[in-house]
Amino acid sequence: NAGVTQTPKFQVLKTGQSMTLQCAQDMNHEYMSWYRQDPGMGLRLIHYSVGAGITDQGEVPNGYNVSRSTTEDFPLRLLSAAPSQTSVYFCASSYSGVVGSTDTQYFGPGTRLTVL
């Protein structure tokens, strides 16, 4: 299994540009999520999905869109990039995320995004 994969690894954008960060998993996990990691702030949840066709907002959803058309893929779209979106983005997945389970999240390698 490849686990959780993310592309690209690095990206530089200009303010106002749009782009999509790709995330895929081959573990048949229902739950997928996107986080951003900024120095001194830990990881903050952007959006999450509990299955194909079902998404919801996390702590910091503004400026980002997601969709989940398949179990495997969960792309993150930046609609109009801003310097405040400069960060490292991690995608993660887990089997179900159901309360009481012992599921843990598996994280992708991350995408380092710089917005000029």
Partner 1 sequence: ELKVEQNPLFLSMQEGKNYTIYCNYSTTSDRLYWYRQDPGKSLESLFVLLSNGAVKQEGRLMASLDTKARLSTLHITAAVHDLSATYFCAVLSGTYKYIFGTGTRLKVLA
Residues forming contacts to partner 1 in the complex (CB under 8 A) are 31, 33, 35, 40-45, 48, 50, 56, 58-59, 90, 92, 97-100, 102-110
Cβ closest to partner 1, residue 14 vs residue 104: 104
Least separation in angstroms between residue 49's CB and partner 1 is 9
Torsional class of 100: left (φ above 0), alpha (ψ -120 to 50), beta (otherwise): left
Residues 6+ apart with CB under 8 A from 113: 10, 11, 12, 13, 21, 78, 85, 86, 87, 88, 89
Least separation in angstroms between residue 18's CB and partner 1 is 25
Cβ closest to partner 1, residue 73 vs residue 103: 103
Least separation in angstroms between residue 77's CB and partner 1 is 20
Residues 6+ apart with CB under 8 A from 62: none
